[in-house]
Homo-oligomer: A and B are copies of this chain.
Amino acid sequence: MEAGQPSALGTQPIFRQMTLVGMGLIGGSLALAAKQAGAVHSVVGVGRSVANCEVALSRGMVDRVAEDLPSGARGADLLVLAVPVQEIVRLLPDVARAAEPGCLVTDVGSVKGQILEAGDEAFPDGRFVAGHPISGREQSGPAAARGDLFRGASWILTPGRRTRREALDRVATLCRAAGAVVLQMDAAWHDEVLATVSHLPHLVAYALMDAVLATERGGERIRFSAGGLRDFTRVAGSDPVMWRDIFLMNREALLRVLADYQGALARLAEAIRNRDGEALEARLRQARVAREEMVHRP
């Protein structure tokens, strides 16, 4: 599953100028990691938020900030789209107009099918490489960015029919320089997998907070949450716009695993309703074994 060649760090940068569209947690962390590894010569930031631009400049993530996409793209041999997934799709045609010939383009969105499609359409010459680092923190924004965010994390690349091999390899080399383990995957399978292990859990957490709050004296109940609720709802602290976009863009896969989950929940409820201790214990035991396998998996 490993893609590309080992990086030749220390000799010369992989990219001359990386232009970052979006200076949030992921974009900012990539800029820090790439700079620390000497993988890019310079970083230019494009962002609508003045506050984010200032943080990015003051933390040394970017060498300069550009006013708009066309001026930010000038001189870039890599453009990284690190904005919410719906915005990536919306921006891609503009990016194609702004990017210089030979400039590679990649993204870090959590949904890949639709982005790959839009990227392949915008870059028929195969310069677009769809990617997704499996990493994140509860906090968002450039202030939360860390140069070691991707260390040991999986960075999934989902090349399509058009994606050029050299483009894939160069982007993979950058991801590795940032500390990640690069995996190659089919975009549709990526979206199924992420719906299961990330999008559904986030949806579940949001629903849990929603339900708890709506109970009588909900705020008072929340006072008594020790590990239980707190653990579950860490992710409910994530950026609502980012997650709204992810849920909507990965709609089909998410609704499928959600239906599976609602079924599992209904079966547990049924066992409780029927006071069926045996069935209940068997289900809990199975879930625990699976969970232990997950934790002990390398």
Q: What is the bound-complex CA distance between A216 and B153, given in angstroms?
A: 24
Q: Which residues in A have some Cβ–Cβ distance to B below 8 Å? A: 134-137, 153-154, 156, 192-194, 196-198, 200-215, 218-238, 240-241, 243-244, 247-248, 251, 254-255, 257-258, 260-269, 272-273, 275, 277, 280-281, 283-288, 290-295, 297
Q: Determine which of B134, B207, B234 lies in contact with A224 in the assembled complex, contact meaning CB atoms within 8 Å.
A: B134
A229 pairs with B244, CB closer than 8 A: no
Closest-CB distance, A124 to chain B (whole angstroms): 29
Q: Which residue in chain B gives the minimum CB-CB distance to A136?
A: B227
Q: Give the residues in chain B near A197, CB-CB below 8 Å.
A: 212, 221-222, 224-226, 228-229
Closest-CB distance, A242 to chain B (whole angstroms): 9
Tallying the copies of this chain within the complex gives 2
B136 pairs with A226, CB closer than 8 A: yes
Answer whether A225 and B294 are a contact pair too, CB < 8 Å, given A204-B204, A210-B287, A264-B210.
Answer: yes
B231 pairs with A284, CB closer than 8 A: no
A260 pairs with B215, CB closer than 8 A: yes
Q: What is the bound-complex CA distance between A251 and B273, given in angstroms?
A: 7
Q: Decide if the interface of chain A is mainly helix, strand, loop or mixed.
A: helix
A-B contact pairs, 6 of them (CB 8 A): A154-B224, A207-B264, A209-B288, A236-B288, A240-B281, A244-B280
Closest-CB distance, A235 to chain B (whole angstroms): 6
B193 pairs with A221, CB closer than 8 A: yes
Q: Give the residues in chain B near A280, CB-CB below 8 Å.
A: 244, 247-248
Q: Give the residues in chain B near A284, CB-CB below 8 Å.
A: 206, 240, 243-244
Q: Determine which of B231, B257, B272 lies in contact with A215 in the assembled complex, contact meaning CB atoms within 8 Å.
A: B257
B237 pairs with A293, CB closer than 8 A: no
Q: Give the residues in chain B near A281, CB-CB below 8 Å.
A: 240-241, 244
Closest-CB distance, A110 to chain B (whole angstroms): 10
